[in-house]
Amino acid sequence: MPLVYFFLLFFFSHLSSAEIMQKNQRCFFNIESFAKQENYKTDYNPFEKKLTINNDKTQWIFVLGFQFFSKNKQNHSIKTPLFLENDKIFAPCDEILPYFEKESSKKYFIDTLNQQITFKKPPPSTTKIAPLKQERAGTREVKTIVIDPGHGGKDPGALGKKSKEKDIVLKVALLLQKKLKKEGFNVKLTRDKDVFVQLGERANLANQWDGDLFISLHCNAVDGVQRQRITEGYHFYVLRAPESEEDKAIARRENKVATLYGDGSAKAELSPIEWIKLEAQLEKYKQSSYDYTEELLKSFQGNGKIKQLGGGVGGAGFMVLVGALMPAVLVELGFITHPKDEAYMITAAGQNKLAEMIAKSVIEYKKKVHHYRKTLQH
């Protein structure tokens, strides 16, 4: 007989169990049998319908049909009283078992298939905790940040009166990399000079580097002289089905590089079927992306000289975010087509402030994830 089978037979032969029954879609267990096997003494007075359970530390008193019991002379109420059936006393599993669990620090296992409750601890798990690098991004400690300066090389991105999108975002990305490295982060850039990188390759690089957070930097733009005068502000985007025509239009503009510069794997707009296929991926990282976006908003609000556009957060089918197996956010730093936004974004002071605000958001996001992980350990 293989050793593992021998071990399982040995273990399960030493499990104690108490009978359970299903009634009105609820679980009830034989409390007398259960108590005896846990080394309590039991005494049932049929005239008073009183069941007493006790050991050296604890005394329980139950009265059949009454919605209360006492434990060490302290009264506790229950919704479902104990009852007698076939000369056996049954108690509701969900209401009474937790009291025994607290007292013994054991975990009780209800086996509905075999109509019994096992209450010895299971054998120690042989499953090893996965190394940190094997944990899914969004749940592990935040260490590797992938910064994606949009456009580059033959793709200038949006154009302002005095600047190009590709130049502004690269300068901000390099400053951001420097600030995050000082804080101990491992920082990767999809480009660190004026070169063209296809949209699909950016997310692939982030995955190869096993990133914990993907930040794609851009400058927004609108057409028309009148709109350019009044449309200003920063805005952040996550990958989700667009909720407005404006978000769709912005995503189409950012995705336009796909058709202009020969990125065959990308599209100007995702179809409904493609959104359905993406749902599983989005669900894994959606909440973490929102968590990071919250920190971005906190960091930007009231700081710098660029206003917030609308609610500050939107969603659309940005091809640069598709395929990133980690929390991912597209940051529109401001409108390059708005005179004041552009004037701020092309200055060294403005670029440094933008990098500083994003760095702060990453630091706070890391703290949030670390706190969440700490709660899971307790």
Q: The tokens of 294 are what?
A: 């919250």
Is 136 inside any structural domain?
A: yes
Q: Are residues 114 and 137 in the same domain?
A: no
Q: Quick check: helix, strand or coil at residue 239?
A: strand
In a 13 Å sphere around the CA of 252, the CA atoms on its Cβ side amount to: 10
Q: Are residues 103 and 136 in the same domain?
A: no
- pLDDT, tens digit, 9 for 90 and up, residues 5-46: 333 333 333 344 678 887 777 888 898 988 888 889 999 888
Question: From residue 75, how far is each of 67, 69, 97, 103, 135 by CA, in Å?
Answer: 10, 6, 16, 16, 46
Is 43 inside any structural domain?
A: yes
Q: Are residues 105 and 165 in the same domain?
A: no
Q: Are residues 247 and 324 in the same domain?
A: yes
* Confidence at residue 374, expressed as pLDDT on a 0 to 100 scale: 76
- Is residue 264 very low, low, confident or very high in pLDDT (cuts 50, 70, 90)? low
- Is residue 176 very low, low, confident or very high in pLDDT (cuts 50, 70, 90)? very high
Check whether 275 has a pLDDT greater than 80. Answer: no
Among candidate residues 96, 118, 140, the one where a domain is terminated: 118
Place of tokens 């980690």: 326
Share of the chain above pLDDT 90, in %: 35
Is 6 inside any structural domain?
A: no
- pLDDT, tens digit, 9 for 90 and up, residues 55-95: 888 898 998 888 888 888 888 888 889 998 888 999 988 88
Check whether 126 has a pLDDT greater than 70. Answer: no
Q: Are residues 92 and 181 in the same domain?
A: no
Is 127 inside any structural domain?
A: no
Is 170 inside any structural domain?
A: yes
The enclosing domain of 23 has a CATH number of 3.30.457.10
**Of residues 105 and 232, more confidently modeled:** 232
121, 107 Cβ separation under 8 angstroms: yes
- Buried b or exposed e, range 201-219, using 16+ CB within 10 angstroms: bbbbbbeebbbbbbbbbbb
Per-residue pLDDT, averaged over 203-211, amounts to 89
Domain that holds residue 335: 132-376
- pLDDT, tens digit, 9 for 90 and up, residues 142-172: 999 999 999 999 989 999 999 999 999 999 9
**Of residues 277 and 96, more confidently modeled:** 96
* Confidence at residue 300, expressed as pLDDT on a 0 to 100 scale: 94
Q: Are residues 186 and 270 in the same domain?
A: yes
**Of residues 114 and 116, more confidently modeled:** 116
